[in-house]
């Protein structure tokens, strides 16, 4: 019998979505063979997601620690035909119905069979009923994600994440105001979603391209642009906007452009 798993994150348990996950699993022909409550630690997070390296993904690690280590989780061992693909469909269904963003998406399962072998063995290997190792010919580790600035030199990152947490968890967060580059707004820099970049590399690009912006503001702008696409992250003179756009391109950001100044709220 094929095996896979789904990890129910703290927000899934906190919002009472466990039954919905199990119903989605049954709809995919899966059965819950075993289940375990656990509380993830930062060490678990590093092992489960090694593509976010220390020193180059400090923002992502701070958000993941706040998200995944602040409360209990539950891991479900799933049996059924082609359980790997079926579990991925369960994840997509749950996220499409209930997710509010990258740090409020309720459930996790592996996207590669090598990732499945590493993560399932770690999460389920302590249980005699689940302890048979998950093996695969694919590499166990995912490729490192694009790196960013070590923002620990600039901010107390746990405090920063705590301050942003209500907005990150909100189903309908207010759009952050575009950063003002100067006093002569004649154009705007627009940013869209760019899956080729990590949180840290994208925020580093925004922080570098918008002089004087606070790190918290840069994070909110990047997350909102990733959510809605095509969002104005800065306004200013045409010269200032062109400079910011050029810096985004130099950082490898391709989902960006120059456009008109957006209308003021309420107009």
- Write down the pLDDT at residue 79: 95
Residue 85 phi/psi, 5-degree rounding, is -70, -35
Residue 5: Cβ within 10 Å count: 25
- Write down the pLDDT at residue 53: 84
Check pLDDT > 80 for residue 137.
no
- Write down the pLDDT at residue 125: 80
Check pLDDT > 70 for residue 1.
no
Give the integer Cα–Cα distance in Å for 218 and 70.
24
Q: State the virtual CA torsion across 168, 169, 171, 172 in degrees, nearest 10.
A: -40
- Write down the pLDDT at residue 144: 85
Query: Model confidence at 255, in pLDDT bands (50, 70, 90)?
Result: very high
For all residues of the chain together, what is the average pLDDT? Answer: 93
- Write down the pLDDT at residue 6: 98
- Write down the pLDDT at residue 266: 52
- Per-residue pLDDT, averaged over 195-220, amounts to 97
Residue 216 phi/psi, 5-degree rounding, is -60, -40
The domain 174-259 is placed in CATH, from the list 1.10.287, 3.30.1390, 3.40.50, 3.30.420, at 3.30.1390
Check pLDDT > 60 for residue 267.
no
- Write down the pLDDT at residue 34: 92
- Per-residue pLDDT, averaged over 159-167, amounts to 96
Give the integer Cα–Cα distance in Å for 168 and 162.
10
Closest CA to 103 of 5, 196, 10, 207: 10
- Write down the pLDDT at residue 13: 98
Q: What percent of the chain has pLDDT over 70?
A: 96
Angle among Cα 258, 223, 48 to the nearest 5 degrees reads 135
Q: Domain residue spans in the chain?
A: 3-124, 174-259
Check pLDDT > 80 for residue 138.
no
- Per-residue pLDDT, averaged over 241-255, amounts to 97
Check pLDDT > 90 for residue 132.
no
- Burial string for 38-59 (b: 16+ CB within 10 Å, else e) reads eebeeebbeebbeebeeebbbb
Check pLDDT > 90 for residue 173.
no
Q: Render pLDDT for 11-54 as a digit per residue (tens, 0 to 9).
A: 999 999 999 999 999 999 999 999 999 999 999 999 999 999 88
CA 101, 102, 108, 110 torsion: positive or negative? positive
- Write down the pLDDT at residue 131: 62
- Write down the pLDDT at residue 265: 65
The first and second tokens of residue 209, run together, are: 């391209």
Q: Render pLDDT for 44-88 as a digit per residue (tens, 0 to 9).
A: 999 999 999 888 999 999 999 999 999 999 999 999 999 999 999
- Write down the pLDDT at residue 27: 97
Which CATH architecture describes the domain 3-124?
2-Layer Sandwich (3.30)
Using the 8-state DSSP alphabet, how is residue 34 labeled?
A: E
- Write down the pLDDT at residue 140: 61
């Amino acid at each position: 019998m094929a095996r896979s798993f789904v990890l129910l994150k703290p927000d899934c348990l906190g919002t009472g979505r466990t039954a919905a996950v199990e119903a989605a699993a049954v709809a995919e022909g899966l059965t819950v063979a075993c289940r375990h409550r656990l509380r993830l630690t930062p060490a678990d997070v590093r092992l489960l997601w090694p593509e976010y390296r220390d020193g180059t993904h400090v923002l992502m690690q701070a958000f993941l620690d706040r998200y995944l280590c602040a409360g209990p989780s539950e891991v479900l061992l799933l049996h059924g035909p082609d359980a790997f693909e079926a579990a991925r469909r369960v994840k997509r269904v749950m996220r499409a119905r209930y997710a509010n963003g990258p740090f409020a998406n309720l459930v996790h399962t592996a996207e590669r069979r090598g990732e499945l072998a590493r993560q399932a063995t770690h999460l389920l290997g302590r249980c005699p009923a689940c302890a048979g190792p998950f093996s695969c010919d694919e590499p166990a580790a995912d490729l490192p994600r694009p790196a960013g600035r070590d923002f620990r030199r600039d901010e107390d990152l746990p405090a920063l994440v705590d301050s942003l947490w209500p907005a990150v968890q909100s189903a309908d967060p207010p759009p952050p105001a575009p950063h003002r580059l100067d006093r002569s707004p004649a154009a705007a820099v627009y940013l869209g979603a760019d899956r080729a970049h990590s949180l840290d590399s994208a925020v580093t690009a925004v922080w570098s391209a918008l002089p004087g912006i606070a790190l918290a503001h840069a994070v909110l702008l990047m997350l909102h642009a990733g959510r809605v696409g095509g969002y104005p992250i800065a306004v200013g003179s045409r010269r200032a906007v062109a400079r910011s756009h050029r810096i985004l391109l130099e950082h490898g950001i391709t989902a960006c452009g120059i456009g008109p100044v957006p209308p003021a709220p309420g107009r």
